[in-house]
Amino acid sequence: MRRVNVRVRFAPSPTGFLHIGSVRTALFNWLYARHTGGTFVLRIEDTDVARNTPESLRTILDGLKWLGLDWDEGPDRSGNFGPYFQSQRADVYKRRVNELIDKGMAYDREGAIRFKMTRQPIAVPDLIAGGVLRPLNETEMLDPDFVIVRSDGNPVFHLVNVVDDIEMKITHVIRGEDHLSNTPKHIALFRAFGIEPPKYAHIPMILNPDGTKMSKSDPDPAKARLASLQTYVNDGYVPEAMRNYLCLLGWSPKDNREVIPIADVVKLFDLPQILRTNARFDAAKLTWMNGEYIRAMQLDRFIELARPFSLKSLEGVASAEPYIRSVLGLVKEKLKLLNELPDWTSYFFTEEYPFDPEAVKKSCSSPQTSERLTKLAGKFAAVASWDAASLEASLKALAAELGVKTGELIHPCRVAVSGKSAGPSLYHLLEVLGRERVLARLRRGAQKFRP
């Protein structure tokens, strides 16, 4: 069913890197907005002046753009409910606080403004968790009132969160389950303003593989690293794979598919389908999925994503573009991560490539290696058309003449021209390198591997 009036928001605080759990929250809000034909609002909760930084804000904006989560209202976008930075909304909060004071729902104590909280338990009708009734604890029973404006005049999270949701006409609040304990306070504030609360949907947490909480302040650097979106950007994961994988952390299409086009996810996604159990982050599965996306990716898109990881010395050299395109097209099928590109492509761009000692020992230690490489260079020199099919036929013909298996020519040839024992299809590799470079490398190899 199309819900044309749905308005959801993602409201991060620019106080550090973009947490992977926050990214998943943004994604689920974006998916719900796109599924319902609604509006996705990006609101920056930057009232913590001491901790906010421009770098953190840029990290948030760049991270969302990298994932393709475009917002309809917010920074860099027009909208009728701005400004979308809480630091610029002080007059709105002051007006709303005065409204509560006039109603007798808030009062001053030692310079701070406190909200008169109900003494009765508040039920939270959550779209995922179901009906949640959170009774007051002993401390709250004695004094359930809470501060909404500090003595320094700064409003607190509970107030600004609710006021902005009211002013921006948010209909659904989709956020992490760790916020569920705050929701009764927020519902009480909505009611104090005479506003029906939005529908709440608290999504399960993302955990480390060992079941511990995924936290950017984890004392284990390896675990803390897993919590940052930037880790995956730097390691060479592609946005399409990261987005797909995060969709499956707490949601399932119910048909056992794992690699799912985002357009299909948008069609299928709905809040009641979100699972109640916490999700464990599986980096190995993400890496597998990344490889699947790279292999299926259009070459132009792959080249766009690959540039930051390789070929920097050739950027802007127009004459090199066809060659770069050929190289990347050749290795695309082999990659799982974009940061593997230098290892897969370095020998295409320099004659000073290293030789893997194990590869040399395994494939080039025969007394006949030097002679075979010399003969192979001569055979290739006579090839009329320098293409993979012709090169394959030429190598096989030489193997037949010498009475050896083709592998006894293929393996030393690969080591001679690349320094490695593995790589893309040898014949296509030779085609891309070109006649002159291949012949020179084979002759150098013949000298290098002379008994």
Q: Residues with catalytic annotation?
A: 216
Strand partners, 19: 228
The rounded distance, in Å, linking the Cα atoms of 232 and 63 is 11
DSSP characters for 200-259? EEEEPPEE-TTSSB--TT-SSHHHHHHTBHHHHHHHT--HHHHHHHHHTSS---SS---S
Which of these, 75, 78, 79, 73, lies nearest to 56 by C-alpha position? 75
The rounded distance, in Å, linking the Cα atoms of 400 and 1 is 68
* Other CB atoms within 10 Å distance of the CB of residue 50: 5
What lies within 8 Å, CB to CB, of 314 at 6+ separation is: 320, 324, 349
Kindly give the residue spans of alpha helices, DSSP state H, lying in 168-208: 183-192
Report which residue type is found at 212. Answer: T
The rounded distance, in Å, linking the Cα atoms of 199 and 181 is 15
Eight-class DSSP state of 44: B
Tokens of 236: 């060479």
What lies within 8 Å, CB to CB, of 337 at 6+ separation is: 235, 236, 237, 287, 290, 291
DSSP characters for 143-158? ---EEEE-TTSPBPHH
Instruction: Give the side-chain half-sphere CA count within 13 A for 412.
Output: 31
Kindly give the residue spans of alpha helices, DSSP state H, lying in 403-434: 407-418, 426-433
Which residue matches tokens 């949701």? Answer: 165
Instruction: Give the side-chain half-sphere CA count within 13 A for 444.
Output: 16
Which residue matches tokens 């939270």? Answer: 124
The rounded distance, in Å, linking the Cα atoms of 362 and 226 is 38
Which of these, 167, 231, 181, 130, lies nearest to 11 by C-alpha position? 167
Q: For residues 332 and 297, is the Cβ–Cβ distance under 8 A?
A: yes
